[in-house]
Amino acid sequence: MIENSVQVTQRGSQIVSEVSESLKRVQELVVQSDKAIDSITDAIHQEAESLAQVSEGIGQISSVVQTNSASSEESAAVSSELFDQVHLLEDETRKFQLKDTEQLTRVAY
């Protein structure tokens, strides 16, 4: 009976050692998983920051495009107004008639 108890105790010690080794491996895997999760989390934060910068850049481009569009519309309106004024000036200058250039030359001297 003592011999049986010794064998059972040795077997129990062996099982405890095996369980202990298994738990150490599990712990190592948990640590590795934790490191991998931290790495993934860092990558996600970097991606989010990059996306925010891209979004800000797109917003700035949109603002510039809107400003350019407004400037173009204003330029077109001014050009149209100047075109109308040129035609009005042409019409008004056609109403004038010059006298004979010889008479103007004699009067001038």
Q: Quick check: 34 pLDDT over 60?
A: yes
pLDDT in tens, 51-94: 999 999 999 999 999 999 999 999 999 999 999 999 999 988 88
pLDDT of residue 108: 54
pTM of the predicted model as reported, rounded to 2 decimal places: 0.54
Backbone angles phi, psi at 15, to 5 degrees: -65, -45
Can you give the pLDDT at residue 102? 61
> For 98-105, what is the mean pLDDT?
61
Predicted pLDDT of residue 4: 79
| pLDDT at site 6 | 81
> What is each CA distance from 6 to 3, 16, 17, 18, 19, in whole angstroms?
5, 15, 16, 18, 20
